[in-house]
Structure 1
Amino acid sequence: MTVATIASELAAHPSILGKLDISGATRALGLTGASVGQPGDDAAALPRPEGGWDLFAAEAFIPAFVADDPWFAGWCGVMVNLSDIAAMGGRAVAITDMLWAPDAAAAAPVLEGMLAASQAYGVPIVGGHTNLRAPALNLSVAVTGRAQALISSFAARPGDLLIAAIDLRGAWRPRFDNWFAAADAPAARLRGDLALLAELAEAGLVRAGKDISQGGIAGTSLMLGECSGCGFEIDLDRLPMPPVTDVARWLRAFPSFGFLLSVSPSAANEVCARFADRGLAASVIGHATSGTAIDLVQGDARATFWDWQARPYLALGRGQPVQEAHHA
């Protein structure tokens, strides 16, 4: 598959286009990138009087995904929220869940998945909402956390190096583009891996980044670039990825542990080494540019995946007339 074909297929894929739905809700709520908590980041960051930040994030899940793989959906309800907190340089404090199901039997595997993840990551579920008389299975989960130093979606700068850090010790879940690397991992490893993001932020090694979420490396780099007012060039030959994996699928995949970090060139080697020390794959996959496009390159071939100035994605970048906000 050519680079141009990969770029065009990604730009038309539902996992990328789904983020465009955000604008309706944010317009109705009157939210902008200047609203309290700076919507557009992986979690709302609220300054604490004594220093640091309170963090708050929430996720809702595609009903078809919850119905197809309810235990894994429950696990993901916890996991992706904890990833959002880590992506901000924070540590999670507590989780609440909102669950709708036709009956207790339908709800059971979702609750089992949430409980398993809560115990594995050591973050308690402290309450929520349950309805066992709903017409279908639906799930939403929220999390609180705290940070002493922030990793921001708005802080990447031209000249930064773009690092992808991903746990490759996993396998694909059926049907959807989900790479699950936490199934058999010891709890101590899972907790230590997430804690590394806060350690990097507090050491001043990382100032900008996002967790790799729905939309994969491609969509996440687009959100990071647009929020920061820059572009990215991504070298497909430098992606850390499992063997015998289709590049196009990997660029849109949702890994259970994955982050894109925009760092100064002087910090890149140490950042990659700290992930490697924990058995996590991390490599420089490109760099931030002064443009507005996410360009994919492979050898001499080059293609633009998306230009956020020509086609706004979240419309939350620095200096933009903001009309949309993103519940990351």
Structure 2
Amino acid sequence: MTEQMAWERNVLLVDHRLPVARPGWQLEEADPAGVRAHRQLRQQAFVEDQGLFAGSDLDDADDDPATVVLVARGVAGEVLGGVRLAPVGVDVGWWTGSRLVVAPGSTPGIGPALVAAACARAEQAGALRFDATVQDRYAAMFTRLGWAATGTADIGGRPHTAMTWPIGRLAALAQATKSPLGGLLAGFHLGGPGFVGDDGAPVPGTDVVAACDAILPSMVERDPGWAGWCGVLVNVNDLSAMGAAPLGLLDSIGARDASFAARVVAGLRAGSQAWGVPVLGGHTQLGVPAALSVTALGRTDRPVPASGGRPGQHVRLTADLGGDWRPGATGRQWDSTTGRTTAELQLMGSVVARTAPAAAKDVSMAGLVGTLGMLAEASGCGAVLDVAAVPRPTSATVGDWFTCFPGSAFLTTDGADRSVAPAGPATTATCGELVPGSGVRLRWPDGSTTPALAGPVTGLGASRTPEENP
């Protein structure tokens, strides 16, 4: 076939391709009129036709301003179906879906589309648990959509199945950021005995602790000044998590030109001044893609390991809830530090040193749950996190707060009789415990638990203390 003939055939294929069929309806979040139409469909289906409720199916969720109703509208604007979703009590990341209804004679596919949309909307609201109780005759549809059965119930004399939508946000973050480490770093004597997987590494034969962090190149390119500030922040946090007092910083900068490098340096300088930690030197390379890494040196004669946790110890979070989301990074980067004084930053940074807990780790790119999973892994155990007990800013959803970089936040573990030292503007709360096994489970206000991380996070394994080594 000649090139001209092939071109003509391709044109014919394109010209005769059938357009994608579009459904005769669309999904949207309901306005007041849509909510009323949804309630009318519910009344007809659940009260008048099925007799599941006497008189009315309205309940407290209908009066909750946090309740969301999604509807399917036909081409003329008529409501063909709907579903509602709402938090269970005070929003702690546990939502339920209910009152799924489709008008008789409607086009097939509306019900599954509403269920899928409700799942997406719940995750958008920061839910880490999304449940529903459905009539048994619809359980197979939910199963096909990925839901899992968790129990049985009886409503209005009809058998129902309790189901949950598996939200994998926490596991996906840990998988993306930390799971390759075990294989990549095999053979290295990371940190020495008792300190494998820690935020910093004790330098053998000294009281010096060294830490190193690189900032994402995309972040350096997008916000160079903030990247410089964070280069100081994350390294000081790493030292602080081991109870070390910062001594100084070394930086390595890559930039397309001197002007861009100056913006990164300005952020480094501001951070250095804010924490009172000098930049001792470093390296700068121009004419290259944006890059930044910072090494920090600190000092302590009693470094706190991440591996000191044991089953039965309480988990505590000390976090600065002030500030807000970094502009352009909502849901990902919380900025509490740029509004703090040097005295406040240093007081928060010394909380681990002044507490001397059994184990500690700062919350970083793996998020709160991923970081707790790493501490538990290094300690050779698992963890349970009480979702409702975790200190959280009012403007952050549970899902975002559990997966973001929170600025200044430290996890510590110790016996129930040990308290955390005052940390100035930071808030401290007991929010879980270490348990036998591995991974992390979330505990909810009803006492039930759900899996968050099924097993080890990094694959680096448990880190034995020096006393446990032969």
Question: Please, what TM-score do these two structures have when normalized by structure 2?
Answer: 0.61
Question: Structure 1 counterpart of 2:262, which letter?
Answer: A
Q: Aligned runs of 1:273-288 on 2, under 5 Å? A: 274-275=422-423, 278-288=424-434
Question: Structure 1 counterpart of 2:215, which letter?
Answer: F
Q: Are the aligned partners of 1:94 and 1:123 in contact in 2 as well (CA < 8 Å)?
A: yes
Unmatched 5+ residue regions in structure 2? 1-126, 131-164, 465-470
**Inter-partner Cα distance in structure 2 for 1:132 and 1:36:** 39
Task: Quote the offset at 1:40 in angstroms.
Answer: 1.1
User: Could you say what the CA RMSD is over the residues aligned between the two structures, in angstroms?
Assistant: 2.0
Q: Can you list the C-alpha shifts for 1:266-312, whole angstroms capped at 9, x where unaligned?
A: 01xx31x623xx12111011011012120011123421111325xx5
Correspondence 1:170 to 2:323: yes
Question: Structure 2 counterpart of 1:293, which letter?
Answer: G
Q: Are the aligned partners of 1:42 and 1:57 in contact in 2 as well (CA < 8 Å)?
A: yes
**Inter-partner Cα distance in structure 1 for 2:194 and 2:285:** 30
Question: Structure 2 counterpart of 1:3, which letter?
Answer: R
Q: Are the aligned partners of 1:7 and 1:303 in contact in 2 as well (CA < 8 Å)?
A: no
Q: Percent identity?
A: 33
**Inter-partner Cα distance in structure 1 for 2:180 and 2:219:** 18
Greater length-normalized contact order (CA 8 Å, ≥ 6 residues apart): 1
Q: Are the aligned partners of 1:37 and 1:46 in contact in 2 as well (CA < 8 Å)?
A: no
**Inter-partner Cα distance in structure 2 for 1:84 and 1:34:** 13
Q: What residue is the counterpart of 2:459 in the other structure?
A: 314
Structure-2 change in CA distance of 1:47 and 1:212 (3 Å)? same
Q: Aligned runs of 1:116-135 on 2, under 5 Å? A: 116-134=270-288
Instruction: Identify the match of residue 107 of structure 1 among 250, 261, 268.
Output: 261
Q: Aligned runs of 1:9-24 on 2, under 5 Å? A: 9-13=169-173, 16-23=175-182
**Inter-partner Cα distance in structure 2 for 1:208 and 1:220:** 12
Task: Quote the offset at 1:48 in angstroms.
Answer: 3.9
Correspondence 1:220 to 2:368: no
Task: Quote the offset at 1:213 in angstroms.
Answer: 0.5
Q: Are the aligned partners of 2:250 and 2:295 in contact in 1 as well (CA < 8 Å)?
A: yes
Question: Structure 1 counterpart of 2:315, which letter?
Answer: L
Q: Secondary structure at the match of 2:417?
A: helix
Q: What residue is the counterpart of 1:145 in the other structure?
A: 298
Question: Structure 2 counterpart of 1:280, which letter?
Answer: A
Q: Secondary structure at the match of 2:377?
A: helix
Q: Are the aligned partners of 1:3 and 1:302 in contact in 2 as well (CA < 8 Å)?
A: no
Structure whose CA Rg is larger:
2
Instruction: Identify the match of residue 228 of structure 2 among 74, 88, 94.
Output: 74
Q: What residue is the counterpart of 1:304 in the other structure?
A: 451
**Inter-partner Cα distance in structure 2 for 1:2 and 1:231:** 19
Q: Can you list the C-alpha shifts for 1:61-94, whole angstroms capped at 9, x where unaligned?
A: 1111111111111001011101100100110111
Q: Are the aligned partners of 2:243 and 2:302 in contact in 1 as well (CA < 8 Å)?
A: yes
Task: Quote the offset at 1:314 in angstroms.
Answer: 3.1
Q: Are the aligned partners of 1:152 and 1:207 in contact in 2 as well (CA < 8 Å)?
A: yes
**Inter-partner Cα distance in structure 2 for 1:24 and 1:70:** 32
Question: Structure 2 counterpart of 1:304, which letter?
Answer: P
Q: Can you list the C-alpha shifts for 1:199-223, whole angstroms capped at 9, x where unaligned?
A: 222xxxx120100010111110010
Task: Quote the offset at 1:6 in angstroms.
Answer: 7.4
Q: How many residues align?
A: 301
Correspondence 1:290 to 2:436: yes
Question: Structure 2 counterpart of 1:302, which letter?
Answer: T
Q: Aligned runs of 1:12-51 on 2, under 5 Å? A: 12-13=172-173, 16-23=175-182, 25-27=184-186, 30-32=187-189, 35=192, 38-48=195-205
**Inter-partner Cα distance in structure 2 for 1:2 and 1:18:** 19
Task: Quote the offset at 1:318 in angstroms.
Answer: 4.1
Q: Aligned runs of 1:255-270 on 2, under 5 Å? A: 255-267=406-418, 270=419
Task: Quote the offset at 1:2 in angstroms.
Answer: 4.9
Task: Quote the offset at 1:25 in angstroms.
Answer: 3.8
Correspondence 1:186 to 2:344: no
Unmatched 5+ residue regions in structure 1? 320-328
Structure-2 change in CA distance of 1:222 and 1:7 (3 Å)? farther
Structure-2 change in CA distance of 1:34 and 1:68 (3 Å)? closer
Question: Structure 1 counterpart of 2:383, which letter?
Answer: F
Task: Quote the offset at 1:246 in angstroms.
Answer: 1.1
Correspondence 1:207 to 2:358: yes
Q: What residue is the counterpart of 1:245 in the other structure?
A: 396
**Inter-partner Cα distance in structure 1 for 2:373 and 2:422:** 25
